[in-house]
Chains A and B, each alone.
Chain A
Amino acid sequence: MIEANISPGAPLVSVSNLVKQFGRFAALRGVTAEFDSGQFHVILGDNGAGKTTLLRVLAGLANPTRGEVSILNKNPREACREIGYMAHPSLLYDEMSGMENLRYFARLYDISGDERCREVIRAVRLDPELSRPVGQYSQGMRQRMSLARAILHDPKILLLDEPFSNVDVHSARDMVGLLKGMRDAGKTIFVVTHQSALLEGVADEFIWMQAGQILDRTRDLSPLARAEQP
Chain B
Amino acid sequence: MNSFWSITLATLAKDIRLEWRSKDALNAMLFFSLLVVVIFVFSFDPLAEESRHIVGGLVWVAFLFAAVVALNQTWARELRNQVLDAYRVSPAPATGLFIAKALGNFILVSLLEALMAPLFVIFYNLHVLGPAWQLIPVALLGTWALVVNGTFFAAMSIRTRSRELMLPLLLFPVSIPAVIAMVAATTSILTGDASAHFYIVLLLTYDVVFTTACLGLFGTVLQAE
* Interface positions of A (Cβ within 8 A of B): 59-63, 80-81, 83, 85, 87, 89-96, 100, 104-105, 107-110, 149
Contacts and interface: CB of A to CB of B under 8 A. Distances in A.
B17 A89 contact: no
Contacts of B81: 89-94
B92 A100 contact: no
B161 interface: no
B3 A110 contact: yes
A75 B129 CA distance: 61
A16 B10 CA distance: 38
Nearest to A134: B81
A95 to B, nearest CB: 5
A94 to B, nearest CB: 7
A149 B89 CA distance: 12
A107 B7 contact: yes
Contacts of B89: 59-61, 80, 83, 85
Given A94-B80, A95-B21, A108 B90 contact: yes
A107 B6 contact: yes
- Please name the 4 residue pairs, one residue from A and one from B, whose CB atoms are nearest each other, closest first: A107-B10, A108-B90, A108-B92, A91-B86
B74 to A, nearest CB: 13
A96 B11 CA distance: 13
Interface of B: 3, 6-7, 10-11, 14, 17-18, 21-22, 77, 80-83, 85-92, 223, 225
A149 B86 contact: yes
Dominant SS at the A interface?
loop
Nearest to A76: B89
Nearest to B10: A107
Given A80-B91, A96-B18, A109-B90, A62 B82 contact: no
B91 A92 contact: no
Contacts of A83: 89
Contacts of A91: 81-83, 85-86
30 contacts: A60-B88, A60-B89, A61-B88, A61-B89, A61-B225, A63-B223, A80-B90, A80-B91, A81-B91, A85-B86, A85-B89, A89-B81, A90-B81, A91-B81, A91-B85, A91-B86, A93-B77, A93-B81, A94-B80, A94-B81, A95-B21, A96-B14, A96-B17, A100-B14, A100-B17, A104-B14, A108-B86, A108-B87, A109-B90, A110-B3
A17 B11 CA distance: 38
A155 B88 CA distance: 16
Most buried by A among B7, B90, B223: B90
Contacts of A149: 86
B22 to A, nearest CB: 6
Given A100-B17, A110-B3, A63 B85 contact: no
A60 B91 CA distance: 11
A89 B85 CA distance: 10
A96 B77 CA distance: 12
Given A62-B225, A87-B82, A108-B7, A93 B91 contact: no
B3 to A, nearest CB: 5
Contacts of B6: 107, 110
Given A63-B223, A80-B89, A91-B85, 17 more contacts: A61-B88, A62-B225, A80-B90, A80-B91, A81-B91, A87-B82, A87-B85, A91-B86, A93-B77, A94-B80, A95-B21, A96-B18, A100-B14, A104-B11, A105-B90, A108-B86, A109-B90
Contacts of A92: 81, 83, 86
Nearest to B9: A107
A46 B90 CA distance: 29
